[in-house]
Amino acid sequence: MASSAIPDPSADPKTAKLWDMIREIDIAMMTTLDGGHLRARPMWCLQDKFDGALYFFTRASAHKVEEVRQDSHIGLAYAKPNSQDYVSVSGRGRLVQDKALVKELWKEPMRTWFPKGTDDPDIAVLAVDVELAEYWDSPSSTMVHLYGYAKAALTGEPPHPGDNEKLDFRGRA
């Protein structure tokens, strides 16, 4: 996995919160640039830990791989509306053709897209080295929403429940 300088989530509360919010979200919307146009597609999230990169299976021959070769900027969007958790991640993508990593990340449901499993000659990993992230965590209870509505109606000001944090992983050593 990545040898990035991302802090250990157990040692950094903001990184831990970021990881807690995205680790149970199975699908991220991945956005790349295709000839100057943004393209987004759903991608299945793979790893069980955060080491500074986020990993997704792809076919080495997929068009998105060519997009990443042309411009490595990638945006990832995670959403869990039931709990009001939203995360935006930006980073640099790179293709990893390492059978050991493929086997480490493999989960049987991936066979839907890769019927030959880890032996598929076209299977690869698209790693996104995280540079920036932002999360929004809002309480989702009815009482919190009623309070917010009442506050807005009485004061003309919107409530600010929950957390919003920006994290910058660039240049960490």
| φ/ψ (deg, to 5) at 70 | -75, -40
Residues 160, 167: Cα–Cα separation, whole Å? 19
Whether the per-residue pLDDT at 48 is higher than 90: the answer is no
By the 8 A CB rule, do 90 and 129 touch?
no
Residue with tokens 């890769």: 114
Q: Is the pLDDT of residue 124 over 60?
A: yes
Mean pLDDT of 100-112: 94
Give residue 143's pLDDT.
45
**Kindly report the CA angle at 25 between 22 and 29, in degrees rounded to 5?**
90
Other beta carbons within 10 angstroms of residue 2's beta carbon come to 18
Q: pLDDT class for 10, splitting at 50, 70, 90?
A: low
Mean pLDDT of 101-111: 93
Is the pLDDT at 76 greater than 90, yes or no?
Answer: yes
Residues 137-168: tens digit of each pLDDT: 876 544 455 555 565 666 676 655 567 778 88
Q: Is the pLDDT of residue 88 over 60?
A: yes
Which domains are seen in the chain, by residue range?
Answer: 13-168 (2.30.110.10)
